[in-house]
Chains A and B, each alone.
Chain A
Amino acid sequence: MLEEKFFIRLSALFTYSLIAVLAFIIIVIFYKGFAALNWDMVFKTPRGGYYYGGEGGVLNAITGSLYISIGATLIAVLIGMPAALYLNVQLIRYRRTQNTIRYFLDALWGIPSIVYGAFGFTLMLFFGMNASLLAGIITVALLISPIMVRTFDEVLCTIPKGMHEASLALGSTRTETAFRIMFKQGFPGFITAVLLSFGRGIGDAASVLFTAGYTDNIPVTLDEPAATLPLAIFFQLGSPIPEVRDRAFAASIILTIIILFISIGARLLSKRYSKTNLK
């Protein structure tokens, strides 16, 4: 009895410490960055001398980050959604193949993003491209596709086989079962997958360092370089000037708020479209 109480207390302690850490991170970022946060930050691109404390903002990085992460997430969805469904519907007979594929995807998930950056860079040179929005999107898409597939897959895995069989027994083809039934039942997992992929994509610095490059302008075409928020934070944090370092925190606030908005939106969406699901 005593032992039981002890472990419950301990688990509770760990759970709440994690939440406390999250709260602490947010408090620190806001504390250090709030003063530097202003509308210029969000709506202006860097002017001359911005990185020495001059006028301007990080609109270039905000738009660059959104372009890259949205583009990459779209590609990851286009590739990853059918891939996860294929894995769970077409390959249902082949458990060993399924597990091998899952193993490779997990390995891909675990590769550090700098390696994706290096790979993207090599690819870029091979095709004679410069650091650009397109190269950034492709590299980030590679980085987040395994996350997309595996996260969605984890939820599809839990769908009872009986539902799968019920759909087939009614006369659906495997494709109809995949896209009409499994996708619907796995929708909350799909949203989580999109969210995780997007979050990883927008927050990653190493993969875009060489592939997207950096610029003070807002990219208009796919072959122009693009700035990103993580790199903006990185460059500004490295500055010897205190105001510029504060701006790094302000940029962190912006990044955090973007992620927060996306995750709340995703949650609402997932709630709205999973009402009919079998619990």
Chain B
Amino acid sequence: MISTSLTPLEVTLRAKRDAGRKLLVPYVTGGLKGWTDAIRAAAANGADVIEIGLPFSDPVMDGPIIQQASQRALDDGATPVSILEGVRTLDVDVPLVVMCYYNTVHHAGHERFASQLFQAGIVGAIIPDLPLEESGPWCAAADAVGLATIMLAAPTAPDERLPRVCARARGFVYSVGLLGVTGERTELAATASQLAKRLKKITDVPVIIGVGVSNSAQAVEACKVADGIVQGASVVRRLMEGGPDAVGTYVAEVRAAIDATTV
């Protein structure tokens, strides 16, 4: 089903997908040392969208790596305002979305937050603790400024629920790869491909697997079914260990791996 009005993000992503490209979405924790350079490096090495995390005090969907990154960023004084200021200086060519917990939105106010994001050049938002039933007021504010609300779909969702999630998704559907929080795993969970398959059957919105896609081999496997992947903890760990250059190298590696299988 085609959404009533496609957001700019979705127009871009559909065009790339329809041209045969798998979509690569690296995640970078905003405010973490080197984060703006990491975003530039990811953009220069083949990212199609970059997800910027706004650190929150109580990140319940995140495992140890992103928790630690969020805490470091907060300790360094990062705020949503300081991160959005950083975003304005980025001059990258790749669409930018934010990942933030709902209290950040709620506290700022829906309209105000949507307009702050829009003015900083952000084109979409992922709010992992805002499920479909609670998403109305935020979605209305986001829709009003053309900001894509990227809905998450979970492996636990019954068949009856998924079409409703997809109908509300703008930009892409975030297909949660496993039962659990963000973090690197030794193998891609079976649930990752299963859920993406279910979603592909019922929606034309790009389906991107995130959570637990941990290296280029897993990215390739996930892209057999999905339109793309999010790389979260694996990117953030490299930023903390090796700095922005390590992020660039890693994104290039994943890009090459998924491109090699699509030609």
The answer to whether A and B interact is no
Interface residues, chain B, CB within 8 Å of chain A?
A: none
Interface residues, chain A, CB within 8 Å of chain B?
A: none
